Amino acid sequence: MNFFVDPHIHMSSRTTDDYVAMSQAGIAVIIEPAFWLGQPRTSIGTFIDYYSSLLGWERFRASQYGIRHFCAIGLNSKESNNQKLAEEVIEILPKFLIKEGVVAVGEIGFDEQTQLEERFLQEQLSLAKEFNLPVMIHTPHRNKLKGTLRTMDLIQEHGIDVDKVVIDHNTEQTVEAVLERGYWAAFTIYPETKMDSERMARIVAEYGADRVIVDSSADWGYSDPLAVPRTAMLMQKMGISQEQIYLSCCKNALMAYGLNTLLSEIEVSGALAVDQRNMYENNSVLRGQQPRIEESR
């Protein structure tokens, strides 16, 4: 493989050092879904600034290390339980869903599986259908199978094509149900929890990689922004074919999020050209370092 894709990573929570390491490890494309802060947001302005940063500064910061940055915009399930604020967020989402660089509505779904979570999940599924965007689904950490099945039922009720839905945070408990219904099944590789690289390799060996996606979901918690290339290396050591690794660690994600044209572009042109003399609103990723300037490769 010439490059990797991490289609679920929260780079706003990571340092620029992580971008350096990711670029060196061959990660060429990332998708950053909207995430919760770690503590409750208290006003609609905080959402506006956050969504704007995903479209602006974060995209620029990634480009300074040759990485193509896309994002998914949505109201996180955990934040759906503040009804007044959630209603305000739903009102502003259309303004962001039309922006360049937005490839999906997400990540949305269930956390505690409350009535409010279901209400705002349904409202965002309607927006995804209206704007003809793929959906990135967050499956709950507790009662995962129940929440996953209910989510898929709601998606079906809304008449959304399974090809436009990525069900994420899968485990051995949910993978068969998700694949049987024809959805993209994504797996977040965490150190010591949820899904690790060895278990991921075993899932690919058992189910194949036709609709399987590997990502890191690296955020402000204990997580690994190099989870995708590390998993690919372990798959190779365990005898998984290069074709299966290519599908699960690169191609499937681009196909699921409608970026299949980008795949051929990268294969022809390689990494983005980098010119760290560039600025974003008079700010630079550099702090006095010599700017790196490279042609596409």
pLDDT tens digits along 201-247? 999 999 999 999 999 999 999 999 999 999 999 999 999 999 999 99
Q: State how far the Cα of 242 lies from the Cα of 85, in Å rounded to an integer.
A: 46
* pLDDT single digits (tens) 116-125: 999 999 999 9
Architecture of the domain delimited by 4-273: Alpha-Beta Barrel (3.20)
SS3 for 167-186 is EECCCCCCHHHHHHCCCEEE
Measured in Å, how far apart are the chain's first and last C-alpha atoms?
A: 15
| Domains of the chain, residue spans | 4-273
Check pLDDT > 70 for residue 296: no
CA pair distance 37, 12, nearest whole angstrom: 10
* Cα–Cα distance measured from residue 30 to residue 217, given in angstroms and rounded to the nearest whole number: 11
Using alpha carbons only, give the angle 199, 203, 206 rounded to the nearest 5 degrees.
135
Q: Tell me what the pLDDT averaged over the chain comes to.
A: 95
CA gap 204, 212 in Å, rounded: 8
Length of the chain counted residue by residue? 297
